[in-house]
Chain A
Amino acid sequence: MREGIVIGLAVVGLAFSLSGVVGILRMPDVYSRIQCSSKTITMGALPVLIALVVAEGPVSPYGSRALLVAVLLLVLNPVASHALARAAYKAGVPMWAGAVTDEVAEQVAAKQVAARQVAPGQAAPGQADPGGQAPQ
């Protein structure tokens, strides 16, 4: 019974790991590959670690270490993936030609437009403010 659960969890985890690795090999650009990498960790590594906990028991040396490793992977790997995606975008790694939207570029463009509209308007109140505040 227990061995059946262990084998089932291990097979699920290994199948997700394999599909994530195939995704890393086949996806067209870096950002999609980072997504597949994160999927490998959450759905691929965690069931395998839970399988070890079930096999050895949570209080045994192996099971407790597996739980610790699961917590560390859950906390640290999204940080690494996020930093990597940000760095790749800032380094100018191109997106896939079929990508639908780039929201960061849209936001940056909107900020630039807003700055251009505010800048001439700010010059006049900036000069008028000292005069306006002096009587108060």
Chain B
Amino acid sequence: MANVCLAVAIAEVAIAALLLVRLAAGPTVSDRIVALNTMSTQATLAVLFFAAFAGRTIYLDVALWLASFSYLGAIVWSRYLERGLL
């Protein structure tokens, strides 16, 4: 079962790495934010599965924190997009 967890973690990181193309080439800021938001979700899953592979419960806090607060980045960026800098 540990091998499956490691394989899923590596696959999630590989899928997230594909999004670097959109992050670099996105024509507008919104495209880059979409790519970043999806990457943070994949990172949450990767950390969770790596915790299950390594058998360390302390890594689970990282995954929970990412799941709880990674959406704030998208919210803040969209606020600035919508109303300008002030």
Report which A residues bind B (CB closer than 8 A): 3, 6-7, 10, 14, 17-18, 20-22, 24-25, 30, 33-34, 37, 40-41, 45, 48-49, 51-52, 55-56, 61-62, 65-66, 68-69, 72-73, 76-77, 79-81, 83-84, 86-88, 90-91, 93
- How many residue-residue contacts, CB under 8 A, span A and B? 137
CA distance A61 to B15 in the complex (A): 26
Within 8 A of A (CB), among B1-44: 1, 4-5, 7-8, 11-12, 15-16, 18-19, 21-22, 28, 30-31, 33-35, 37-38, 41-42, 44
Report which B residues bind A (CB closer than 8 A): 1, 4-5, 7-8, 11-12, 15-16, 18-19, 21-22, 28, 30-31, 33-35, 37-38, 41-42, 44-45, 48-49, 51-52, 57, 60, 63-64, 67-68, 71, 74-75, 77-79, 81-82
